[in-house]
Structures are given as C-alpha cells and as structure tokens.
Amino acid sequence: MGVIASEISTCLDQEKLQNNYFASQSFNLKSIKPFQWSIKRSFDVCSSLIFISMFWYVFLIIALAIKLESKGPVFFKQERVGLCGKKFYMYKFRSMVQDAEAQMDKIKDLNQASEKMFKIFDDPRMTKVGKFIRKYSIDEFAQLINVIKGEMSLVGPRPPVQREIDTYEKWHYIKFATLPGLTGMWQTSGRSDITDFDQVIALDYSYITNWNFLLDIKLILKTIPVVIAGKGAA
C-alpha cells in the first residue's frame, strides 16, 4: 500500500497536502472526464427513478415490517462525507434498534475491522428484520434518494462518517475524488470480508484511476450475484 501512498503524494505539491481534500480535488473525476461524468449522472438518475417505480411496493412491505417489529422511524439517517469532503445525510432502511447510535460507546470494542472502518459481524443492535435486509443489502436501496439528489452515485467508494475520517492518513483522502456509491470495487471484491482499510483504499484508488462509464456498468452487473447470494454482508 506504501507504493500507492507514494504515487499519490508525488502528484501533489507538499504544501497543498496540508489541505486533506486537495488529493481528491486533484483527481476529481467530474473535472477530468466531464463528458463521461454527465453520462454517469444521467444513468444514475434514470436508473434510480425506474427502479423505484418498479419496486415501490417492495419498499412499502419493508417499511411496514420495520415499523411492526420495533419502535422508531422507517429510515435511518446519518451524516456522511462525500465528494471532495462535502457532508450530507445518507439514508438507509433502519436495520437496528432506535437508539443504535447512542449505544456506540458500549459496542465499539466489538469492532472487527480497523478504527478507520467500523464493522461488526452479527451486530447485537440489529433487529430480526434488520438482519434480513442487511444480508441482502436491501437497507441500502434507500440511498437511491441520495443518488437522485446528486449526493451519491450507483457506483463509487462507500461514504465514511467523520469519526473514521479523523483517523485517516493523507493518502486515504483519494477516495473523495468521486461521488460515493451504493456499490463499487470493495463490494464486488469481498465486501465486509475485507477489513484491512488500506486494502479498501487501494480498491478505491484502482476504481478512480481506471474509471470510465463502462466500468460502472461492469461493477453493477458484478454486484447482482453478490447481493443475491448475500456474500460478505455485515
């Protein structure tokens, strides 16, 4: 991973590295490939609207199941960080108990990944409905709202929370060079089975440096069997 860190650093003036997000601004795909980016954006919006119109009744059933099992809202909303450091609220169908965030201090020692990426397999805060929708990534479909709003894309790195970013090294900020996504290289290469954060960033770097619209299509197609099989879910 040190080779990737060095490669990113040599592309940037050391003074500018004082701005953590300068790396993402320099590799910004929206600026580097504006035509393909406009195709990506159009595809994101059209696909999201079509998907919602086709499966709205499934989302309604999920919402009812969540409400019947436990108290609290249907959607879980959490502040995340996206393109070039822009903050936004990411949505999910709620898969945990209502006070899951308040319980973070109690369960942080159960983390099975690095401090830069919080992951617990079989999280004790999950509800029965939550375990099912998490296994098959159904909870993530609420993020189609974020895609339509332009805060996320169908394909891209996963958006982190600020407490994780506070532990980042300079070269990790390369992940913010594109919109965060519902799926991407990490999800199709092992998903939550990959707990080494440097390896996750290496996958994000590979996506960003090799990105074109056809790569997005390829990753979406690779995601379908992964989701159906429930591989690497956490």
- pLDDT tens digits for range 132-164: 999 899 999 999 999 999 999 999 999 999 989
Quote the tokens at residue 231.
């591989």
Assess if residue 2 is contained within a domain.
no
Assess if residue 81 is contained within a domain.
yes
Q: What is the pTM of this model?
A: 0.84
Domain limits at 173? 19-224
- Composition of the chain by helix, strand, coil, percent to 5: 60, 10, 30
103 and 109 Cβ atoms separated by less than 8 Å:
no
Assess if residue 198 is contained within a domain.
yes
Counting Cα atoms < 13 Å in the Cβ hemisphere of 151 gives: 16
Assess if residue 142 is contained within a domain.
yes
Q: Which mean pLDDT values do the consecutive 10-residue runs of the chain (234 residues) have?
A: 61 56 79 93 97 96 94 94 94 89 73 65 86 92 97 96 90 92 88 79 92 96 86 60
113-130 residue pLDDT tens: 566 666 777 788 889 999
